[in-house]
Amino acid sequence: DAGITQSPRHKVTETGTPVTLRCHQTENHRYMYWYRQDPGHGLRLIHYSYGVKDTDKGEVSDGYSVSRSKTEDFLLTLESATSSQTSVYFCAISDLGTFSYEQYFGPGTRLTVT
Amino acid sequence: AQTVTQSQPEMSVQEAETVTLSCTYDTSESDYYLFWYKQPPSRQMILVIRQEAYKQQNATENRFSVNFQKAAKSFSLKISDSQLGDAAMYFCAYQDNAGNMLTFGGGTRLMVKP
């Protein structure tokens, strides 16, 4: 299994509070991603990073920011959490394999915004 | 933008029998990658099989194989000799040649009956 951890694994927070989720990898992969999973939508990309301090927006980036100051860590921040951000959040990593940039996923963080 | 459609929200199969999960996608690209991921109740996203669009030969991984029809933009997953441990959500995913993000279908829940 790829060495990817996410913290916290579960979090309940109130509307309007800031929340930071952490993804940590031990694989030295260049690319890191944050997805959210909601019923009926599969996983949707929030932000991704292609190197230290290099990030870009994904499909559903509104209300989220990210930072990557080290290769191994990718942080996702909800500046002011809303109920619509209740979801399961997955981090993924990738690098050029034999044929493609296969992505490997962390265990997920369940976030509930009340 | 690419879209991925899984038209079967739920499927069931008898243990030891074969089941096929459907996936269609829309893209204007000629080079891309396709994946099937399995998500058991543990929530972990597990890569099952991948297919490179430039390869005509269908990918196989033990009991898992795909039927890749590039012209029809179809990418189905066949599970042979189904086992109880195959019960899970299955997601089809598309990745463009740049490899920056995955676009997921909405998922198919597979139930395996003993």
Select from B95, B100, B110, B88 the least CA-distant residue to B12.
Answer: B110
d(CA A90, CA A30): 17
Residue A84's φ and ψ, nearest 5 degrees, are -70, -10
Q: Which residue has the tokens 């829940």?
A: B109
d(CA A82, CA A74): 21
Residue B15: which pLDDT band, with cuts at 50, 70 and 90?
Answer: very high
**Average pLDDT, rounded, for chain B:** 94
Identify all chain A residues contacting B93, using CB atoms and an 8 Å cutoff. Answer: 42-43
Q: Do A101 and B99 touch (CB under 8 A)?
A: yes
DSSP for chain B, written as a single string:
--EEE---SEEEEETTS-EEE--EEE-S-SSEEEEEEEE-TT---EEEEEEETT--SPPEETTEEEEEETTTTEEEEEE-S--GGG-EEEEEEEEETT---EEE---EEEEEE-
Tell the CATH topology of B3-113.
Immunoglobulin-like (2.60.40)
Which candidate in A1, A5, A43, A45 is best for mutational testing of the B interface (most B CBs within 10 A)?
A43
Domain boundaries, chain B: 3-113
Identify all chain A residues contacting B99, using CB atoms and an 8 Å cutoff. Answer: 31, 94, 96, 100-101
Q: Decide if pLDDT at B74 tops 90.
A: yes
Select from A59, A68, A73, A58 the least CA-distant residue to A6.
Answer: A73
Q: pLDDT per residue over A63-91, tens digit each?
A: 999 999 999 999 999 999 999 999 999 99
Q: What pLDDT score was predicted for residue A2? A: 63
Provide the percentage of residues in chain A whose pLDDT is more than 70.
Answer: 95
Q: What pLDDT score was predicted for residue B50? A: 93
Q: Do B100 and A88 touch (CB under 8 A)?
A: no
* Average confidence (pLDDT) over A48-56: 93
Q: Decide if pLDDT at B1 tops 90.
A: no
Residue B96: which pLDDT band, with cuts at 50, 70 and 90?
Answer: confident
Identify all chain A residues contacting B38, using CB atoms and an 8 Å cutoff. Answer: none
**Per-residue tokens: A8:** 């916290």
Superfamily name and number for A4-113: Immunoglobulins (2.60.40.10)
Residue A101: which pLDDT band, with cuts at 50, 70 and 90?
Answer: confident
Q: Do B105 and A42 touch (CB under 8 A)?
A: yes
Which candidate in A44, A50, A103 is best for mutational testing of the B interface (most B CBs within 10 A)?
A103
Q: Decide if pLDDT at B81 tops 60.
A: yes
> Could you tell me how many residues make up chain A?
114
> Which residue type does A26 have?
T
Q: Do B33 and A100 touch (CB under 8 A)?
A: yes
- Which residues, in sequence order, are bridge partners of residue A75? A22, A67
Say which residue, B31 or A111, is predicted with more confidence: A111
Distance from CA of B19 to the nearest CA of A (A): 21
Q: What pLDDT score was predicted for residue A98? A: 60
Nearest CB to A41 within list B42, B43, B106: B106
Residue B70's φ and ψ, nearest 5 degrees, are -65, -45
Q: What pLDDT score was predicted for residue B25? A: 97
